[in-house]
Chains A and B, each alone.
Chain A
């Protein structure tokens, strides 16, 4: 083994060890540092080993990329993390596509059949990752309609694009060097089109699955283009990323009761029908500071439930992120803890727009991570809990998932909030969630709805609780 390969292996192990350290929040920061240092080492190794230190345009490219990347990373807000990851994913995929394309065009010398295979495959997956991720990022950033974009004959177009890509792919092999560019160009364009077709059908709540899948694609693209340019570092690190994305995709699928094969076949979309139920009867509570000032005593409403509770579980959903209410949530939990209540958070795997999204938002608001519980670890606890406070979550607490056969959420594991003594729901309205299924929890006896912008209603609740404390 040459020294270059030996050092390369060290950097591969470094990257994997970095991920290993991410298994605990205590060591995760150093894990990320180990990963980034390994990458820096690999880049320097490549520059030296390939003897390309003396090409100015590459230094410019490195500098421009590094500075733009740094700028993006510093500027982005935590709520924008899903679109940030999607965007970066797209750039990685695009880069792999170009690498594969240039390899296919014979830049590194004559290419054998296996090189043609891997280069063409890298071009396909890289291009799909690029256009798919850019569409996903645009949707998440609100630059595009968030709802699924559906049109007539969509799956026919999708399949047509795939078949054409397949035909061009096969035609690469017998083609001589003069026939490859036109075919490569065709594959590039069609793959970009397919990436767009694949992603425009995806709506908001399906994003966790889609982002995970695109994350996997970006790794696979890097790995396969590594075959094309015969670079073991690309192959190994790309494979790890590909697996990582796949593991996350599978977790997200499980949390939404979808199968991986359905998702790979492009069925990332819930077909939701309009709910036909009329007005539902709910126990809706009004809240205002005025009311608290004039009527601090004898309130048998939800505020006294909170006041008298010993144990509280908070369930955040994407609505909390939209209302930017995580700081109010933190404020509320601080007050509850001052009142000697046990406060925990229950996090559903697909709450938010990407895996783990809620955890990051709550961490940003200084909620300690040992108060954040995964679904399976806390579901048994709802039964013994006095008060559940829901902030902007709907589908993930919808008991219809257990009973309503034939609805999109049937079979999806949920947080069993309804088992608690009281459930207080700070949601914007009573409209069905993304899945389009009415939530029977809303009309249950133990549920109280506080409708409106959660950032405001929570502040009112905090104020009222403090008034109650002071007067009592």
Chain B
């Protein structure tokens, strides 16, 4: 994609992102942060591309490190977000569960 096209995409994504994120209540700001944090690991795609294109061993190794770091970011971020979100329960949800168990 050409530079101007990417720039348009950048601006459009920022605007959409702003609207969507402003709707997230402060209750969920920690999982929002860890979730978007996982998304920032999208750089793994760039890391894969440069690592594959690298002809010199040193560069490919560097690219592989970038892939590893970004994968930690992606996988760690999504799993930890999942762990957190699962904990959020409403009052009656908890009670009905207790009733079932009792």
Say if A and B assemble together. yes
* A19 within 8 A of partner (CB): yes
Known contacts A29-B85, A50-B48, A62-B71: A211-B13 contact under CB 8 Å: no
Question: How far is A12 from B39 in the complex, measured between Cα atoms in Å?
Answer: 10
**Which of B10, B40, B45 is within 8 Å of A42, CB to CB?**
B45
Q: Are B49 and A39 in contact (CB under 8 A)?
A: no
Per-residue interface assignment for chain A, residues 229 to 258, with 1 indicating a CB less than 8 Å from any chain B CB and 0 otherwise: 111111111111111110110010000000
Looking at chain A's contact residues, the main secondary structure is: helix
Number of A positions contacting B (CB below 8 A): 111
Question: How far is A142 from B88 in the complex, measured between Cα atoms in Å?
Answer: 28
* B24 within 8 A of partner (CB): yes
Per-residue interface assignment for chain B, residues 67 to 95, with 1 indicating a CB less than 8 Å from any chain A CB and 0 otherwise: 11111111111111111111111110110
Question: How far is A354 from B36 in the complex, measured between Cα atoms in Å?
Answer: 14
Q: Which residue of B lies closest to A115 (CB)?
A: B3
Q: Are A72 and B76 in contact (CB under 8 A)?
A: yes
| Total A-B residue contacts, Cβ distance less than 8 Å | 384
Q: Are A372 and B27 in contact (CB under 8 A)?
A: yes
Q: Which residue of A lies closest to B64 (CB)?
A: A61
Per-residue interface assignment for chain B, residues 43 to 72, with 1 indicating a CB less than 8 Å from any chain A CB and 0 otherwise: 111111111111100011111111111111
Q: Are A102 and B25 in contact (CB under 8 A)?
A: no
**Which of A92, A226, A241 is within 8 Å of B70, CB to CB?**
A92
**Which of A52, A68, A235, A238 is within 8 Å of B76, CB to CB?**
A68
Measured between beta carbons, the chain B residues less than 8 angstroms from A55 are 51-52
- Min C-beta distance of B22 to chain A, whole Å: 6
Question: How far is A219 from B77 in the complex, measured between Cα atoms in Å?
Answer: 14
Q: How large is the interface on B (under 10, 10 to 19, 20 to 34, 35 or more residues)?
A: 35 or more
Q: Are B18 and A247 in contact (CB under 8 A)?
A: yes
Known contacts A235-B9, A369-B27: A219-B36 contact under CB 8 Å: yes
Q: Are B74 and A50 in contact (CB under 8 A)?
A: no
Question: How far is A231 from B13 in the complex, measured between Cα atoms in Å?
Answer: 14
Interface centre among B27, B46, B81 (most CB of A within 10 A): B46
Q: For chain A, residues 61 to 100, give those with C-beta under 8 angstroms from any C-beta of chain B.
A: 61-62, 64-66, 68-70, 72-74, 76, 78, 81, 84-85, 88-89, 91-92, 94-96, 98-99
* A317 within 8 A of partner (CB): no
**Which of A12, A29, A234 is within 8 Å of B86, CB to CB?**
A29
Interface centre among B12, B26, B84 (most CB of A within 10 A): B26
* A455 within 8 A of partner (CB): no
Per-residue interface assignment for chain B, residues 1 to 23, with 1 indicating a CB less than 8 Å from any chain A CB and 0 otherwise: 10101100111111011101111
> Which of A150-158, A167-175, A285-293, A359-367 lies at the interface with chain B?
A359-367
Q: Are A32 and B46 in contact (CB under 8 A)?
A: no
* A108 within 8 A of partner (CB): yes
Measured between beta carbons, the chain B residues less than 8 angstroms from A19 are 17, 20-21, 24, 32, 35-36
Q: Are B30 and A371 in contact (CB under 8 A)?
A: no
Per-residue interface assignment for chain A, residues 118 to 162, with 1 indicating a CB less than 8 Å from any chain B CB and 0 otherwise: 000000000000000000000000000000000000000000000
Measured between beta carbons, the chain A residues less than 8 angstroms from B87 are 78, 360, 363-364
Measured between beta carbons, the chain A residues less than 8 angstroms from B84 are 78, 81, 360, 363
Q: What is B's interface to A at a CB cutoff of 8 Å?
A: 1, 3, 5-6, 9-14, 16-18, 20-55, 59-91, 93-94
Besides the known contacts A356-B31, A359-B26, 12 further A-B residue pairs in the complex with CB atoms under 8 A apart: A20-B20, A31-B35, A43-B48, A68-B68, A69-B72, A69-B79, A74-B79, A88-B41, A229-B46, A231-B49, A233-B42, A240-B17
